[in-house]
Amino acid sequence: MSEPIPATEKFRTKVATAVAMGGSVPAITHVAWGADGTPAPITENTLRNLVHMQPVSSAIATGPLLSIITVLRGEDANGIAIRELGLFDSDGDMAARRTFSPKELDDGTEFETTLELQF
C-alpha cells in the first residue's frame, strides 16, 4: 500500500458541498503526468509541467480511500523524465497531485502505479 495522496483543497470543497447540499461529487476521470518534481501544497490546482494526460484505467473505493490504477506507456512520455502526476475530475479540476523521483521510460515499456486518494 502506498501513502495516500491528500485531495486538493478545491476537491475537498466539492465533496463537502455535495454532502451539505445533497449533490454529487465529480468523478476522477483523468490522470496527467508531468516533469516538475517540486512538492506542491493542497491549494495548488494545476500540474506544473504537463507531459501527457489520459483517462483513468480503474478506480476502486475502499472505505475512505479511492484507489486509482493507471499505466503510462513509454511512447506517451516522449523521452521526458516523469516526476509528478495529477488526478483530475470530470470538471477538469485537479483533485490531487503527487511528486516522486524521476521515472524514465523507453518506447515499448510501461509504468503502472496505484494511487490512493485520501479524503
63: cell is 472505505
pLDDT reported for residue 96:
92
Report which secondary-structure segment, H or E, holds 83. Answer: strand 82-89
| Residues in Cβ contact with 19 at an 8 Å cutoff, skipping those fewer than 6 apart | none
Q: What is the spatial distance between Cα 40 and Cα 23, in angstroms, rounded to a whole number? A: 29
Q: What is the model's pLDDT at position 40? A: 80
Identify the domain containing residue 80 by its residue range.
Answer: 5-118
d(CA 69, CA 56): 7
Q: How many domains does the chain have?
A: 1
From 58, 38, 43, select the one nearest 12 (Cα to Cα): 43
Average of per-residue pLDDT across 17-33: 94
Task: Flag whether pLDDT at 35 surpasses 90.
Answer: yes
Q: Residue 13: what pLDDT?
A: 94
Q: What is the pLDDT of residues 62-95, one digit of tens each?
A: 888 888 989 999 999 989 999 999 999 999 999 9
For the chain, percent of residues with pLDDT exceeding 70: 97
